[in-house]
Amino acid sequence: MKIAIDHKSPVPLHIQAEQLIRKMIEDESYQDGKVLPNEVDLAKILAISRSTLRQAINKLVFEGLLVRKKRVGTKVNKVQVSSKSNNWLSFSQEMKLRGIKIRNFELHVTWVYPNETIANFFEIKSDRKVLKMERLRGSMDEPFVYFESYFHPRVGMTGDEDFKRPLYELLETEHSVIATLSKEEISALEAEAQIAEKLRIPIGGAVLLRKRFVYDQGERPIEYNLGYYKAKSFTYTLESRR
């Protein structure tokens, strides 16, 4: 394992430390209750100050991943919800896994003023335009999902990118942006006229809405993504343990 922190990297040291610790505690011995190195030593090992290390650990403690105890040390919390099976695949990869060949029906790129939700998520003012990408995708026969993606200006999208490539690969190679964290919200709703038309279903037909909030290594927002899936064409699966 690489236990190095890059002091020259633009991503903050405490974030790097946080990610390192996440990796570190995936190890079985930690899962079984071994205490991790004490703060003073660990700070020395990572070559950062104790305060900075504590910043990282604090976050994981708050998340419930770690527990600290005076004079004892810091351990991995037992009641852990291992969401390991969350692979994080691109849409094309996901579909490939399911043996579905993808066809792109529409692709539309524009610059728009963000609505309140987006401006808030991006932490920008709403008079600053962001790149919006719309996509209608599906099987060879028919579209079954409509995507709406918004990119933070920081990413540096031009709109001329080759969107046929996997998106996260594109972000990485073209813009040096590495998507590492995704928060999702899944719900059902009835299709409005615009969506219904695109997905070729009656107005009011059931749709699965998957909102994704995507962050980079520095946990800064980079993409806001809405996916409207035609009912029954998509199932979200996950495992949790306690």
**Which residue is associated with the tokens 């070559």?**
47
| Interface pick for DNA out of 4, 27, 38, 78 (rule CB under 7 A) | 38
From the list DNA, a second copy, none, which binds 218 (C-beta under 5 to 8 Å, kind-based)?
Answer: DNA
From the list a second copy, DNA, none, which binds 73 (C-beta under 5 to 8 Å, kind-based)?
Answer: DNA
Q: Nearest approach, Cβ of 190 to a second copy (angstroms)?
A: 4
| The one segment of 39-47, 155-163, 171-179, 225-233 that binds DNA by CB under 7 A | 39-47
Output Rg (C-alpha) for the chain, integer angstroms. 21
| Interface pick for DNA out of 28, 116, 123, 160 (rule CB under 7 A) | 123
Using rule CB under 7 A, residue 59 touches DNA:
no
Q: Give, rounded to a whole angstrom, the gap between the first and last alpha carbons of the chain.
A: 27
CA distances from 200 to 28, 140, 187, 192 (A): 49, 14, 20, 11
Q: Nearest approach, Cβ of 220 to DNA (angstroms)?
A: 8
Q: Nearest approach, Cβ of 147 to DNA (angstroms)?
A: 26
Decide whether 30 or 163 has the Cβ nearer to DNA: 30
Q: Residue 9 is encoded by which pair of tokens?
A: 């990297």
Q: Nearest approach, Cβ of 237 to a second copy (angstroms)?
A: 5
Long-range contacts of 32-35 (CB under 8 A, 24+ apart): 33/75, 33/76, 33/78, 34/75, 35/72, 35/73, 35/74, 35/75
From the list a second copy, DNA, none, which binds 10 (C-beta under 5 to 8 Å, kind-based)?
Answer: DNA
Q: Nearest approach, Cβ of 158 to DNA (angstroms)?
A: 18
Q: Nearest approach, Cβ of 54 to a second copy (angstroms)?
A: 10
Specify the DSSP class assigned to residue 56. H
Decide whether 10 or 33 has the Cβ nearer to DNA: 10
From the list DNA, a second copy, none, which binds 132 (C-beta under 5 to 8 Å, kind-based)?
Answer: none
Q: Residue 124 is encoded by which pair of tokens?
A: 């920008």
CA distances from 102 to 27, 29, 118 (A): 37, 42, 28
| DSSP reduced 3-state for 101 | coil
